[in-house]
């Protein structure tokens, strides 16, 4: 099972009302694959849906339909079974779904209910799903740039933050969001130079407010934290480095940037939400 499939299954188990026993059996037998992954045997489909093997093959041959719902070499392939003249139909996952949805057994009805509950889950959480996709698209353009970020560890405790540095904020957020239905609350994200030195500077300044040994989790007012980030940035980034960063990002975004002197040197802030909720 791929890590992507594993995350999807965990999501179904933790955040939907789909029966866990069904999930365990279903995804053990039928791995989600691409259009060219012909790895499901027709006999397994017949047994699982409680229909005859002949029924499955007649469906694949479009015997019950006036339109060509299934096409050889697109939805299924035929392979020889051993040394005999027998054939096995190998189908892809999308083909299995169509057969399962169109059958009239109790097992097929169970699968239809699974898709109904999945649709209900998507509708119920559409705003969060939409926002997650939008955030990913917005942040993707900054991949490869050094950055400093912090987010709320627990929405019930607005002054506890995880602070970090990365060159791929989308990948970092994806790792943090594994197993969550509600995405972490990214409060601050800024592009910088010398992120390692800045992160160490922040950690030293906040060492007495560290909540977990050897972890970058601190209890601090977000406005104070932003001020410390600015001061550490100004300490370890020269005026020339700052101007080069601003010019590069401004060119990327099609904007104009101006820095007056060393005192005004600050990180290039992309996301900033410091108000307490």
138 vs 116: which has the higher pLDDT: 116
Same domain, 107 and 135: no
Q: Are residues 29 and 156 in the same domain?
A: no
Position 37 scores a pLDDT of 87
**pLDDT band per the 50, 70, 90 thresholds, residue 263:** low
Cβ proximity of 242 and 146 under 8 Å:
no
Query: Which of 161, 136, 134 has the alpha carbon at shortest distance from 149?
Result: 161
Q: What is the DSSP code (8-state) at residue 113?
A: H
**165 within a domain of the structure (yes/no):** yes
Residue 59's pLDDT band, with cuts at 50, 70 and 90, is very high
Question: Total structural domains in the chain?
Answer: 2
277 assigned to some structural domain? no
Same domain assignment for residues 17 and 48: yes
Residue 138 has pLDDT above 60, yes or no: yes
Q: Do 62 and 14 belong together in one domain? A: yes
Q: Residue 267: which domain range?
A: 128-272
171-191 mean pLDDT = 78
Q: In angstroms, rounded to a whole number, what is the distance separating the alpha carbons of residues 76 and 94?
A: 10
Domain annotation covers residue 66: yes
Res. 149 pLDDT band, cuts 50 70 90: very high
Asked if residue 246 and residue 136 are part of one domain, the reply reads yes
Sequential DSSP letters for 214-274: TS-EEE--HHHHHHHHHHHHHHHS-HHHHHHHHHHHHHHHT------SGGG---EEEEE--
CA distances from 142 to 184, 236, 270 (A): 19, 21, 9
Instruction: Give 184 or 113, the one with higher predicted confidence.
Output: 113
Measured from the Cβ of residue 26, the count of other Cβ atoms closer than 10 Å reads 18
Same domain for 202 and 155: yes
264 is a domain residue: yes
What backbone torsions phi and psi does residue 79 show, to the nearest 5 degrees? -130, 150
Question: Under DSSP, is residue 158 helix (H, G, I), strand (E, B) or coil?
Answer: strand
**Separation between Cα atoms, residue 155 and residue 224, nearest integer Å:** 18
Mean pLDDT of 260-270: 73
What are the φ/ψ torsions at residue 166 (nearest 5 degrees)?
-165, 165
| pTM confidence score | 0.55
Q: Does residue 56 sit within a domain?
A: yes
Q: Are 148 and 199 a contacting pair, CB within 8 Å? A: yes
Residues 88 and 208 in one domain: no
| φ, ψ at 37 (rounded to 5°) | -95, 85
Question: Quick one: pLDDT at residue 53?
Answer: 94
Share of the chain above pLDDT 70, in %: 88
Same domain (yes/no): 117, 140: no
Domain end, chosen from 124, 154, 185, is at 124
């Amino acid at each position: 099972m791929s890590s992507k499939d594993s995350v999807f299954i965990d999501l179904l188990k933790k955040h939907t009302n789909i029966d866990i026993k069904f999930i365990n059996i279903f995804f053990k037998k039928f791995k989600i694959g691409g259009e060219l992954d012909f790895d499901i045997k027709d006999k397994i489909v017949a047994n699982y849906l409680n229909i005859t093997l002949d029924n499955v093959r007649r469906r694949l041959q479009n015997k019950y339909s006036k339109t060509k719902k299934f096409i050889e070499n697109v939805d299924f392939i035929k392979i020889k079974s051993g040394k005999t003249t027998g054939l096995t139909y190998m189908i892809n996952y999308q083909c299995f779904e169509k057969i399962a949805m169109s059958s009239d057994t109790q097992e097929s009805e169970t699968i239809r209910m699974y898709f109904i509950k999945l649709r209900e889950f998507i509708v119920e959480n559409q705003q969060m799903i939409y926002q997650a996709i939008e955030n990913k698209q917005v942040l993707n353009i900054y991949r490869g740039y050094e950055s400093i970020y912090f987010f709320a560890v627990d929405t019930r405790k607005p002054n506890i933050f995880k602070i970090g540095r990365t060159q791929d904020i989308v990948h970092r957020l994806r790792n943090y969001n594994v197993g969550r239905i509600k995405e972490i609350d990214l409060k601050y994200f800024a592009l910088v130079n010398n992120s390692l030195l800045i992160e160490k500077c922040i950690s030293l300044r906040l060492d007495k407010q560290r909540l977990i040994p050897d972890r970058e989790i601190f209890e601090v007012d977000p406005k104070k934290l932003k001020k410390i980030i600015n001061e550490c940035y100004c300490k370890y980034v020269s005026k020339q480095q700052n101007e080069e960063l601003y010019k590069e990002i401004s060119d990327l975004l099609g904007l104009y940037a101006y820095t007056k002197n060393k005192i005004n040197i600050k990180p290039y802030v992309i996301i900033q939400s410091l108000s307490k909720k």
